[in-house]
Amino acid sequence: MRAVRFHEHGGTDVLQVDEIDRPDATGHGVVVKVHGAGVNPVDTYFREGSYKPFTMPMIPGVDVAGEVATVSEYVEGYEVGDLVYGTGIGKDHYGGYAEYVAVPEDRLAKLPGGVDPVAAGGAGVAAVTAWRALIDHANLQAADVCLIHGGSGGVGHAAVQLAAAAGANVVTTASEQYHDRLTERGADTVLDYRRDDLEDAVIEASGGGVDVVLDHRMHEYLQLDAAVANTGCRVVGIGEKDPNVGFTQSSAARSKDLQLTMMSMFNTPDLRIPLQKVAYLMGEGGVSIDVAQTYDLSEAADAQRAVLEDSFFGKLVITP
């Protein structure tokens, strides 16, 4: 089979397509014929070496969706031909940038009928991170006011839909070109993140303050979060790499009893739970993953460059 691999850490030029043996379904594993594998910033961290994969050469790709090809004798509940999606590979297991990938059964969920497996290939990191942030960590409730920074991104556009499905009043930020699409996805208010009066605009849109914040750039927005927060606001940070981020300089944060959680999807105790919840919502139309562009395996380097540098709505997906 064909698979993208890197034999050493470095830039996108270390990615190459190799011909290797197709994996077997061993232990509690399921071999998936890949229809789509989402491209995530975390994939680039493993490639360039700031995060260490379990072995080299390594196949990148934390996300996957496709058709069950073979099932280990120890696995129950999956049959050849089932459509599935999953996440959490590409670190301690080979990733999804390949024609076939072996996935532990506890990192998979079945896809409901009618869900596009290519789009579902981009759902894992985005939707599970959004679920963990909003539902598990922030305990988002109906009628909460929820501020989501970066609503057009992978996690952001999934979070907008999850928050709307939970009955929250959703305020999000994005470039003006994406405002209409975010409104269609359930946002009540969409604000241009570049506006000079963003703090005042959030307070006005939220009716005085927000109850939950999902922030992907806390080094830029954490003090704004504190300023627009209601007392007891739950702020969840994802993807922050600045070790100095904190509320230490904010009197607003101290006066409002703000709760700050920094999270990683890789710490999810049981990935099946959010995967199954999101799968249900995808089947019911409550969550849809927008695919901005698809790439062949041979274009993986372009995809990993684009995920860090380009502006797009939704997800980039490898389609072997």
Write down the domain spans for the chain.
2-123+289-318, 126-266
Does 255 score more than 90 pLDDT?
no
Strand segments (E) across the chain? 2-6, 15-19, 29-39, 64-71, 83-86, 100-104, 108-110, 145-148, 169-174, 189-192, 210-215, 229-238, 259-263, 291-295, 315-318
Which of 259, 266, 212 has its CA nearest to residue 239? 266
CATH placement of domain 126-266: 3.40.50.720
Give the model confidence (pLDDT) of 116-132 as tens digits.
Answer: 999 999 999 999 999 99
Superfamily of domain 2-123+289-318 in the CATH hierarchy: Medium-chain alcohol dehydrogenases, catalytic domain (3.90.180.10)
Instruction: Please indicate, yes or no, whether the overall pTM of this predicted structure exceeds 0.85.
Output: yes
Give the model confidence (pLDDT) of 186-212 as tens digits.
Answer: 999 999 999 999 999 999 999 999 999
